[in-house]
Amino acid sequence: MARITLATRTFETEDQHLFADLSGDINPIHLDPIAARRSQAGGVVVHGIHAALWALDKLVQTGVLIEEIVSLKVQFTNFIEIGKQVDLVLLSQEDKSIRAVLCRGKLTTISLFITLGTRHGNIRTEVPDNAPTVSVSDQPANFTQLAEMVQLSGWLEIPASANKIERYFPNIASAIGSFRVWAIALLSRLVGMICPGLYSLFGGFTLELVDCSRQQDRMGFQVSDIDERFRMVRINVSGAGIDGVVQAFLRWPPVAQASLREIMNVVAPTEFADSTALIIGGSRGLGALTAKIIAAGGGKVVVSYDVGKTDAEAVIEEIRTQTSNGSCRAFRYNIHKEAATQLKHLNTSITHLYYFATGPIARQKEGPFAWDLFDEFIRMYVKGFYDCCNYLSQHMSQALTVFYPSSVFVESTQPDMTEYSIAKMAGEMLCDRINRAGGRTHIIVKRLPRLLTDQTATVLPMTRDESLKVMLPVVRDVQSFRPGAQNYPVQRRASHAV
């Protein structure tokens, strides 16, 4: 049959809070833009269970689901971002099965496989009766290793108020019973708050809907298997008329770069003295690492942030408490706004500029090339960079040395990073043009390897170079350059072997 769009929905911030209150899943990836930017998603995303229950509710409402549901398989394949429209699309409808997907354009975010028929049988998965009842918490569990979750088990109580779940999902509640809908909603709390908890990604679930009067008021769970290769955990769930398996992944925690004390062991205390570096995007990642390297060498640093004020203040506090550099400070800077308005209050002479402004790089896309994404990268890595350089070159009392971080992906583009790679290539061309103009600004470009940052800390293992090992020689090169001393060419590779 042809694909049929049954319904559309755009989830907003208010929807996030409503479902968080309903399910008890207040994982920051769904509610906190600051914390979510350090996740694999790069920003706040919709609860997968919320979207799945909405899809099921619409399948019943539109008359697609009229028979009894025997089993349900749901796979979460891509994030649903806040404010982005998703479509519920019917792929196939046969006598005993239905396939549907939630799509954002051509990108599938959730797949649903539904088996129809007559329910029978009892719960096969037995959770120990003496397993603890897990109460609602305002903090997700903070597991970082899969071994910590082995044999973890417990019970989640089904709320007594049926009308609350029926208010949000009336059609599917009528079809399968409000207690089953509650059980499915609680899978979100199970994964997001209990196991794996804070650093979780929900992979999917497979459930049988069984006719069983036992344990209708609670749902049990027990970890059945872990797979270190993919940081995956399988959890058996049973009770409240469902019996099945949940699959989740344990993300790597936000990356902690080398501490200032570690850096001070390899940097001479006066190595970067008599320099003042402005670090755009210095609240985390390579920007924060660079700020600490320069401060460890006796240089002054001014760190900018856009939304990560707390992170930036933590970097400054670390520098102030462990060095005599009391003049370092942080300020807010948005690369999409006029540079002059934001930089005119610096009140200090900048000798070096490091431009680490960035957003999420590897994005979900509907096709091979996304013009809106490319435009975003151009504004960030070309226009934003040029505006900042141009203002400083005109208003600083001395020549300016600039570091522009490019990427090895310019040479070996990955399919999901085409727009990023082309934008970085355009940035390199701009740097070359500025250098050839022979003004008071000189830019050093290096194509950095894939370093361990929040951007690269995914579930699957990958080879990463040690950030400090790469960035220290880069900073030394940039700090040692003196405009006018020599014809310093644009460098295409980092000095560390890739």
The pLDDT confidence band at residue 452, using thresholds 50, 70 and 90, is low
Write down how long the chain is. Answer: 498
Percentage of the chain modeled with pLDDT above 70: 92
Strand pairing category for 300-305 and 276-280? parallel
Distance CA 12, CA 16 (A): 7
The pLDDT confidence band at residue 216, using thresholds 50, 70 and 90, is confident
Distance CA 448, CA 478 (A): 14
* DSSP codes, 77-137: -S--BTT-EEEEEEEEE-SSEEEEEEEETTEEEEEEEEEES-----------TTSPBPPP-
CATH number of 260-480: 3.40.50.720
Please compute, for residue 476, the number of CA atoms within 13 A of its CA located in the half-sphere on the CB side: 14
pLDDT value at residue 226: 95
pLDDT value at residue 488: 43
For the cut 60, the answer to whether the pLDDT of residue 126 exceeds it is yes
Distance CA 400, CA 397 (A): 9
CB-based contact 30:50 (threshold 8 Å):
no
Distance CA 459, CA 452 (A): 13
Q: pLDDT tens across 33-90, in order? A: 888 887 878 889 999 999 999 999 999 999 998 889 999 999 999 999 999 999 999 9
pLDDT value at residue 398: 87
Residue with tokens 């479509």: 87
pLDDT value at residue 37: 83
pLDDT value at residue 496: 35
Residue with tokens 């060095």: 323
Torsion 172-173-174-175 (CA) sign: positive
- Give mean pLDDT, residues 144-149: 94
Q: pLDDT tens across 433-442, in order? A: 999 998 889 9
- The set of residues, in sequence order, having a beta carbon less than 8 Å from that of 66 and lying 6+ positions away, is 60
For the cut 60, the answer to whether the pLDDT of residue 486 exceeds it is no
- Lowest-pLDDT choice from 29-33, 63-67, 483-487: 483-487
Q: Which of 156, 191, 187, 184 is nearest to 27 (CA)?
A: 191
Domain boundaries, the chain: 4-250, 260-480
Q: What angle do CA 193, 196, 202 make, to 5 degrees?
A: 85
Q: Which of 163, 185, 179, 237 is nearest to 213 (CA)?
A: 179
Task: Provide the phi-psi class of 231: left if phi over 0, else alpha when psi is between -120 and 50, else beta.
Answer: left
SS3 242: strand
pLDDT value at residue 303: 97
For the cut 50, the answer to whether the pLDDT of residue 487 exceeds it is no
Q: pLDDT tens across 383-410, in order? A: 999 999 999 999 988 899 999 999 998 9
Mean pLDDT for the chain? Answer: 89
Q: pLDDT tens across 271-320, in order? A: 999 899 999 999 999 999 999 999 999 999 999 999 889 999 999 999 99
Q: pLDDT tens across 323-380, in order? A: 987 779 999 999 999 999 999 988 889 999 999 998 877 777 777 888 999 999 999 9
- The set of residues, in sequence order, having a beta carbon less than 8 Å from that of 262 and lying 6+ positions away, is 468
Structure tokens belonging to residue 248: 């989740």
The pLDDT confidence band at residue 213, using thresholds 50, 70 and 90, is low
Provide the 10 A C-beta neighbour count for residue 313: 15
Please compute, for residue 17, the number of CA atoms within 13 A of its CA located in the half-sphere on the CB side: 4
Q: What are phi and psi of 253, to 5 degrees?
A: -65, 165
Torsion 28-34-35-41 (CA) sign: positive
pLDDT value at residue 264: 95
Distance CA 14, CA 405 (A): 38
For the cut 70, the answer to whether the pLDDT of residue 460 exceeds it is no
**Candidates 3.10.450.50, 3.40.50.10860, 3.10.129.10, 3.20.20.70; CATH matching 4-250:** 3.10.129.10
Strand pairing category for 69-76 and 107-116? antiparallel
The pLDDT confidence band at residue 495, using thresholds 50, 70 and 90, is very low
With b meaning 16 or more CB within 10 Å and e meaning fewer, what string describes 191-221? bbbbbbbbbbbbbbbbbbbbebeebbebbbb
Q: Tell me 431's DSSP state.
A: H
The pLDDT confidence band at residue 151, using thresholds 50, 70 and 90, is confident
